Amino acid sequence: MQVRKTNYQVNATPTFQVLTEDEIEAIYYAALHVLAETGVRVYAKEGVELAHSGGAIVEDTTEDSSLIKMPSWMVDKARATLPERVTVVGPPYKDGKRKHVMELFKNQIYYGTGSDTPFTIDPYTGKRRRAVYQDVKNMAKLAEALPNIDFFMSLGITQDTAVGTYDRWQYLAMLEGTNKPINITAVDIEGVKDQLEMAYIRLGGKEEWKKAPAFSLYIEPVSPLSHSEEVVQKLLFCADNGIPMVYTPCPLAGATAPTTLAGTAVQALTESLFGIVLSQLRKPGAQVIIGGLMSNMDMRTAVYCYGSPEMALLSAAYTDITKWLRVPEYETAGCSDTKCFDEQALMEASINIATAGLIGGNMIHDVGYIEQGLTSCPELLVASDEIIDRTKRILRGIPVTDETLALEVMDEVGPGGHFLAHDHTFDRFKTEIWRPTISDRQVWENWELGGSKTYQERVHERMIGILEAETEPLLDEEMYQELRRICELADDRHKDEELDLQMFV
């Protein structure tokens, strides 16, 4: 028997869909209505002037802001020049090769960490404490070693460095630990400039950056419907300098957005569309990734939920919308509201990782977050690597071909035989059958002989093994000192500015 049917339909991968095309269109046109009729508040004069020059209506101007209303044709025009594909490539290794490539377009999935948590779980004591430079470097080293973590955000704040310039030190810590693509954050526009200069040094010059950027910049407008001066400054700088920007609202259903999930999606899309239009007015073809963290406020505790089903649903729905728009998307998964690495962490992370993969999210971030994004958990990051690998196996689906139907193999083995010694098994078992790196599948007696270790204990051992493994430094001493010098100069400038301010006061 051979599969010779006409119009034979194949599911290359399982898929998940939350919104129909009609529902996507309803949300999109509702967002256009809000952008044109309700408007957005913009706190940057340069952004107001740029929007007005492109056809926006300016109303209710105050000393520090204006209300901007954009007709739908401005969105249509911006979408015509908006790239459908954004590429970010990690820095080179010692052999000069840039081996980690992230190509963001429809249904291309990449998982990465979250950033800027004030707290972390100490990998040795298990205690929650303030994050420091070494923690960011450790997290980067974990991300470098974990094969299913595709990009890196800091998973901590370098709180043992200067407050006003910690972002430069944070980037240095990341560069010390990983050569995977990085999504940076920045205190202000000066922080973006310094980190871009550091990237030029790391890559070997501006021309290498032009070939493929090594980082994207996280930019977060203020929900509801507000765009601060710093946000607009960062957006315009990214457009001018070829930096892929992640323009990502974080509306909270019931607090900073309507309680209904559809209403939250409309508001988030309105905020994203403003960023798209402004970026394309500044420079047609500017690279934009939209999405963000959309979730609900728990009405009993008033916290921003990272492990709720609503968060997974909103992320999935927004992925449907961005695929329809043909713009790369920034989604959330691998996170939990728990306070430690426990069963809740694994349950919530597993569900949102699987949902994000099945829906086809692009830049799936926040792997390793607990406590509503306030704390980073290295053990959850390590465990999530295996969860992501499981999810990717599910996404490979079940190919149905003449070879995989295996009729000849069954005929050769026959009733009562076994398949262990057959070439078909030998040729295919490594690619067909998923094998865990941490999960246990031993018989009871062998599990006991191995120390009766729990899953948590095995994850902890893998984490410590990675952190304590001897690895070749990614930066030579000369480059490290050159990068460090930029951080130190930023510290000096910041101290001078603080002194000037004190004298003025």
- Answer yes or no: are the C-beta atoms of 324 and 330 closer than 8 Å: no
Residue carrying the six token digits 């959330």: 332
Summarize the confidence of residues 131-145 as an average pLDDT: 98
- Model pLDDT, residue 8: 80
Partners of residue 113 on adjacent β-strands: 367
pLDDT digits (tens, 9 = 90+) for 263-320: 999 999 999 999 999 999 999 999 999 987 899 999 999 899 999 999 999 999 999 9
pLDDT digits (tens, 9 = 90+) for 463-477: 999 999 999 999 999
- Answer yes or no: are the C-beta atoms of 332 and 357 closer than 8 Å: no
What number of residues does the chain have?
A: 505
- Model pLDDT, residue 503: 46
Residue 62 has pLDDT above 60, yes or no: yes
Exposed/middle/buried for residue 410 (C-beta within 10 Å: 0-12, 13-18, 19+): middle
Summarize the confidence of residues 232-256 as an average pLDDT: 97
- Answer yes or no: are the C-beta atoms of 198 and 168 closer than 8 Å: yes
Residue 145 has pLDDT above 90, yes or no: yes
- Model pLDDT, residue 276: 98
Nearest alpha carbon to residue 264 among 235, 230, 225: 225
* Domain residue ranges of the chain, discontinuous segments joined by +: 86-395, 402-468
Share of the chain above pLDDT 70, in %: 97
Q: What pTM was estimated for this model as a whole? A: 0.95
- Model pLDDT, residue 504: 44
pLDDT digits (tens, 9 = 90+) for 365-389: 999 999 999 999 999 999 999 999 9
Residue 498 has pLDDT above 70, yes or no: no
Distance separating alpha carbons of residues 36 and 207, to the nearest angstrom: 40
Distance separating alpha carbons of residues 318 and 250, to the nearest angstrom: 12
Summarize the confidence of residues 491-505 as an average pLDDT: 66
Summarize the confidence of residues 114-138 as an average pLDDT: 98
| Residue 193 tokens, joined | 């400039």
| Residue 374 tokens, joined | 């306030």
Partners of residue 102 on adjacent β-strands: 88
Summarize the confidence of residues 41-53 as an average pLDDT: 98
Nearest alpha carbon to residue 252 among 260, 244, 241: 260
Residue 1 has pLDDT above 60, yes or no: no
H/E element, 121: strand 119-121
Percentages of the chain per state (helix, strand, coil), in multiples of 5: 50, 15, 40
Nearest alpha carbon to residue 265 among 303, 289, 296: 296
pLDDT digits (tens, 9 = 90+) for 201-219: 999 999 999 999 999 999 9
- Model pLDDT, residue 501: 43
- Answer yes or no: are the C-beta atoms of 288 and 278 closer than 8 Å: no
- Model pLDDT, residue 505: 46
- Answer yes or no: are the C-beta atoms of 156 and 394 closer than 8 Å: no
- Model pLDDT, residue 497: 67
Strands in 66-69's sheet, in edge-to-edge order, are: 57-59, 66-69, 40-42, 226-227
- Answer yes or no: are the C-beta atoms of 108 and 350 closer than 8 Å: no
- Answer yes or no: are the C-beta atoms of 146 and 140 closer than 8 Å: no
Summarize the confidence of residues 323-330 as an average pLDDT: 97
| Amino acid (one-letter) located at 36 | A
CA distances from 359 to 18, 268, 369, 390, 445 (A): 8, 18, 21, 15, 40
End-to-end distance of the chain based on CA atoms, in angstroms? 87
Which CATH code of 3.40.50.150, 3.40.640.10, 1.10.540.10, 3.20.20.480 fits the domain covering 86-395? 3.20.20.480
- Answer yes or no: are the C-beta atoms of 79 and 91 closer than 8 Å: no
- Model pLDDT, residue 2: 58
Q: How much is the mean pLDDT over the chain?
A: 95
- Model pLDDT, residue 225: 98
Nearest alpha carbon to residue 265 among 304, 295, 289: 295
| Residue 264 tokens, joined | 């939250």
